[in-house]
Each structure stands twice: as structure tokens, then as C-alpha cells.
Amino acid sequence: MSRVVAQGTFDILHPGHVHYLREAKAMGDQLHVIVARAANVTHKPDPIVSEPQRVEMVEALDPVDHARLGDPDDIFVPIEEIDPAVIALGHDQHHDIEKLEARLAERGIDCTVERVSGREPDEDELLSSGRIIDRILQERG
């Protein structure tokens, strides 16, 4: 059975998350999702939704077989425990594939890294937690 790992913040779920997780699931038999700890989210504003709630919401999505929080100190710990065949990156995730592959090799983790496609938004569709927040502030703030 081939396992796929997807990871992300998953702050406010939207169709872009579903697209990412569906494509990730198609890369193997089981999809394991690692939900980022709030303290480890350094590339964008802190998540609004709590860690347990983000895990619960992700785990409820149809493509997801298992969801868990990431390790607070070492992002590779859950990857070592899951032992995936593939790590699926979102189309807009900030990771450099070559650097990630080198770090995985240093840790003795034998898997491929693949990037999923982006989803083109329908008219007025919001595919970003940040854009959802901006729209709420604009219309209700």
C-alpha cells in the first residue's frame, strides 16, 4: 500500500484545499495529511482556527485517510513515522523541491516529491484563506 503525505496550514478550508487533497490522494492508496502547528507557520499570518479544529476539519474531508498535527520541533518526524512513497506539495507551497529532496535523503527518507496542479477559480470563487479573510473584512469589517 503506497502512502502519500500532504501538508499545510488548512486555516480556513476552501475549494483549493479540496483540489490539492484530491490530487494528492490520486498519487497513492492512502493520504496522510500533516496539519502545521501554528508556531511553525512563519510564511504567512498566524492561523485563525485552532490546531485541533483544523485537524478535525481536514480529517473529515473525503480524500483524507489520516490527519494529524505536525511535530512542534522537527517537521520530518511525522514523515519518518508515516514512511510515504510520495510527498505531494500544493501548487503554491513555498517549498523548494530540490532542497526538500536533499533534506529527505539526509534523513534516510526514500520518497518522491511531486507538486499538484493549481485550480483555476470559477467566477467569484475564493481559493485562498487570506482572500477569504480579506473579503470578510471588506464586506463586514
- In angstroms, the CA 98 to CA 89 distance is 12
Instruction: Report the alpha-carbon distance of residue 82 to residue 73 in Å, rounded.
Output: 17
Annotated binding site for ATP: 9-10, 14-17, 92
Annotated binding site: 9-10, 14-17, 92
CB 6 within 8 A of CB 34: yes
Distance from C-alpha of 138 to C-alpha of 49, rounded to nearest angstrom = 20
Q: Taking phi first (over 0 means left), then psi (-120 to 50 degrees means alpha), and beta for anything else, what does residue 64 get?
A: beta
Order of strands, sheet of 66-69, starting from the edge strand that comes earlier in the sequence: 66-69, 30-35, 3-8, 86-89, 112-115
